[in-house]
Amino acid sequence: MQNITVALDAMGGDFGPRVTVPAAVQALSHFPELKVILVGDRNLITPHLSQLGYQNDARLSIEHCDRVISNSEKPSLALRNSSGSSMGTAIDLVANNAAGACVSGGNTGALMALSRFRLKLLPGIERPALISALPTASGGKTWMLDLGANVSSDADSLFQFAVMGSALAEQYLERPARVAILNIGAEEIKGNDLVKRCAEMLSQTQSVHFSGYTEGNQLLHDSADVVVCDGFVGNICLKACEGTAQLFIDKLKSHMMSSSIKGWIARKLFSGLFTELKTLNPDQYNGASLLGLRGIVIKSHGSADVPAVVNAIGEAVHEVKRQVPSRISDRLEAVLLERHY
């Protein structure tokens, strides 16, 4: 069994080591091939390890650094001051091949800027993109990108997102992924120039299985395997799904938590429904990948709890196993060959 080393930004996210340290320990028990490097302030990390009764072993190490990049720090400033920060160091461990992937719940803009600068982009990629899997009504998954790595994109970038999304999704699907562009209507005449130009490019490409436009209300309804959009739209749209799902789950929960006899019956009979609805909240997954880099970077939710950070580490393990960057690279090469010859 090949070892997989993940560098975890222990200071990232809203809760820092209080969540990342127990998550690292749990992840080690889930994934026997895993080694974790906790990157951050040793003085803040070790008390949590002691609290868990964790004995130092060869699978868990600490890479000490003093600085943390705050959530309000501008990416340009973070880039200049990244030296000695937990996020910068975690990315450096990947750049230096000391880790196969890094995971951070810190400032998204800074994570993208630092990753791009330290790891470099894959040939043929102009902008990295954040991708995540959304649950669908039938129990499947739809991968959506970009979820906010970029605040604006051109048609070439959107096209590259489609190629990268296909390459990632097909690692799970093991069949060609149906790729759709998120738009305000399914008809060909609908949309802005960006989506129209990207649609034209995709419809001329054999190596991506383009299925046309999809709309916001089709996202959780299996309309495509990969949904492509610019980062501004993707971020807002994903959060809109999450906010609506949470509202509905909260309403059901308040019925089930009622202390009345009705609440008791609901809990006894319909706990399955509650679980089902929770699995349909796109928020349940944690661990969005930053695709397009020469290394694996996983963004964890800032508000992620322990199981969610374990998921993000699991995503990192999975991508290392599947060698996602080189899969994307191969796919891009095929597309570029097709487009140029």
Among 86, 132, 142, 235, binds a second copy (CB under 8 A): 235
User: CA 273 from chain center: how many Å?
Assistant: 27
Point out which span in 25-33, 118-126, 147-155, 171-179 binds a second copy (CB under 8 A): 147-155
**E strands, the chain, in order:** 4-9, 34-40, 60-64, 101-104, 129-135, 141-145, 178-182, 209-214, 226-228, 288-291, 296-299
Instruction: Count helices and strands (H / E) in the chain.
Output: 11, 11
Restricting to residues 173-192, which ones interact with a second copy according to CB under 8 A?
182-184, 187, 189-192
* DSSP conformation class of 115: H
**Does residue 139 interact with a second copy by CB under 8 A?**
no
**Does residue 105 interact with a second copy by CB under 8 A?**
no
Reduced to 3 states, what is the DSSP secondary structure of residue 296? strand
**Does residue 220 interact with a second copy by CB under 8 A?**
yes
User: CA 223 from chain center: how many Å?
Assistant: 20
Q: 204 or 244: whose CB is closer to a second copy?
A: 244
**Does residue 91 interact with a second copy by CB under 8 A?**
no
**Does residue 145 interact with a second copy by CB under 8 A?**
no
Report yes or no: 290 and 111 within 8 Å, Cβ to Cβ: yes
Q: 44 or 249: whose CB is closer to a second copy?
A: 249
Among 52, 98, 273, 337, binds a second copy (CB under 8 A): 273
Strands 178-182 and 34-40: unpaired
Minimum separation from the CB atom of position 249 to a second copy (A): 8
Restricting to residues 278-317, which ones interact with a second copy according to CB under 8 A?
280
**Does residue 237 interact with a second copy by CB under 8 A?**
yes
Phi-psi region of 236 (alpha: psi -120 to 50; beta: other; left: phi over 0): alpha
Residue 340 makes CB contacts below 8 A (sequence gap 6+) with: none
Question: Please, what is the angle between helix 231-256 and helix 261-279, to 10°?
Answer: 160
Q: How many chain residues interact with a second copy (CB under 8 A)?
A: 56
Take residue 154 and report the two structure tokens written for it.
Answer: 């051109």
Residues that bind a second copy (CB under 8 A): 71-72, 74, 109, 137, 148, 151-152, 182-184, 187, 189-193, 215-221, 229, 231-233, 235-252, 255, 262, 265-266, 269-270, 273, 276-277, 280
